[in-house]
């Protein structure tokens, strides 16, 4: 459903510090599958995830969703596709301190401008599903690590995206929280979500729910394997 063809991403293009973070990567991501990008730090995982999620445009190559090319779309149109298609859970959660759990979760929905009562109901449904509803009024900096993680996942799901993107989701998480994360992902997979994660954590790369592990080195795909 999501197809990358010969994608290259240069940082500092044409400048002395030019660097190819992703090099000629072709990858197709099937609907409903769990794909993990693994590789050492600096191998291009985060950059590739931002291209998959249309947060970054590739310097060269094409990205297509359901056969529709996205690379050439004007920014406004691309932003709409991005909001409606992808949910993002970043490394270290990127929650906004000073705002409540509820407000953090609703943030990605504001640009879609749905009626407020509907959005509030939706946010509360997602919080309940992630077992964090009792914390809706708490400022996020006061949460435990597990609660932050569930809040970040709730925020990624607020627009009911078909594709969930998670960048090193278990970095700095203990064993129990990693299992909790995997349980949540398994539930989402069972519901038909497509999941793309980066990780060099064997607890993730060898997890039963993973369909495919793609190994990056120096911006290129160097191996691909079926999941455990
Ligand atoms: N915004 C940026 N500007 C310049 N170089 C960057 C930027 N982001 C990442 N890089 C470089 O691109 C390469 C790939 O980085 P990244 O995609 O973050 O890899 P990973 O997530 O596997 O650690 C690294 O060499 C990194 O230093
Ligand atoms: Mg990274």
- Give pLDDT tens digits for 121-171: 999 999 999 999 999 999 999 999 889 999 999 999 999 999 999 999 988
Q: Are 147 and 180 in contact (CB under 8 A)?
A: no
> For the chain, what are the domain ranges?
32-55+74-212+219-226
Q: Which ligand is nearest to the CA of 40?
A: 1
Ion ligand 2, residues whose Cβ is below 5 A away: 45-46
Q: Are 199 and 168 in contact (CB under 8 A)?
A: yes
**Nearest protein Cα to ligand 1, atom 1:** 11
CA distances from 87 to 21, 82, 162 (A): 23, 8, 8
The secondary structure element, H or E, covering residue 214 is strand 212-217
Ligand 1 atom at minimal distance to the Cα of residue 167 = 21
Is the CB–ligand 1 distance for residue 39 below 6 Å?
yes
Question: What is the percent of the chain with per-residue pLDDT over 70, rounded to a whole number?
Answer: 100
Q: What is the residue-wise DSSP string for 130-158?
A: TT-GGGTTSBGGGS-HHHHHHHHHHHHHT
> Which is nearest to 63 in space by CA: 1, 3, 23?
3
- Give pLDDT tens digits for 3-32: 999 999 999 999 999 999 999 999 999 999
- Give pLDDT tens digits for 28-56: 999 999 999 999 999 999 999 999 999 99
Ligand 1 atom at minimal distance to the Cα of residue 216 = 22
Task: Assign 3-class secondary structure to 161-203.
Answer: CCEEEEECCCCCCCHHHHHHHHHHHHHHHHCCCEEEEECCCHH
How many Cα neighbours within 13 Å face the side chain of 115? 3
32-55+74-212+219-226: CATH, from 3.40.50.300, 1.10.10.10, 3.40.50.1100, 3.30.70.360: 3.40.50.300
Is the CB–ligand 1 distance for residue 42 below 6 Å?
yes
Ligand 1 atom at minimal distance to the Cα of residue 22 = 14
Is the CB–ligand 1 distance for residue 44 below 6 Å?
yes
Q: Which ligand is nearest to the CA of 38?
A: 1
Structure-token pair, residue 27: 């990858």
The pTM (predicted TM-score) of the whole model is: 0.94
> Which is nearest to 82 in space by CA: 122, 51, 127, 46?
51
Is 228's pLDDT higher than 80? no
């Amino acid at each position: 459903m999501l197809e990358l063809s010969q994608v290259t991403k240069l940082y500092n293009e044409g400048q002395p510090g030019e660097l190819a973070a992703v090099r000629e990567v072709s990858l197709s991501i099937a609907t409903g599958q769990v794909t993990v990008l693994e590789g050492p730090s600096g191998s291009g995982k985060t950059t590739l995830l931002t291209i998959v999620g249309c947060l970054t445009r590739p310097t060269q190559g094409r990205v297509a969703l359901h056969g529709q090319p996205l690379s050439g779309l004007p920014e406004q149109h691309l932003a709409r596709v991005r909001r409606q298609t992808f949910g993002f859970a970043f490394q270290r959660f990127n929650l906004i301190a000073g705002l409540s759990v509820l407000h953090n979760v609703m943030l990605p929905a504001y640009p879609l401008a749905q009626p407020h009562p509907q959005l509030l109901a939706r946010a509360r449904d997602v919080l309940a599903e992630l077992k964090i509803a009792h914390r809706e009024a708490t400022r996020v900096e006061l949460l435990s690590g597990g609660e932050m993680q569930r809040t970040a996942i709730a925020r990624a799901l607020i627009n009911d995206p078909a594709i969930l993107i998670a960048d090193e989701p278990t970095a700095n998480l203990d064993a129990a929280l990693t299992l909790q994360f995997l349980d949540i992902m398994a539930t989402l997979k069972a519901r038909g979500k497509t999941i793309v994660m980066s990780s060099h954590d064997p607890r993730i790369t060898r997890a039963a729910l993973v369909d495919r592990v793609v190994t990056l080195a120096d911006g290129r795909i160097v191996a691909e394997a079926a999941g455990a």
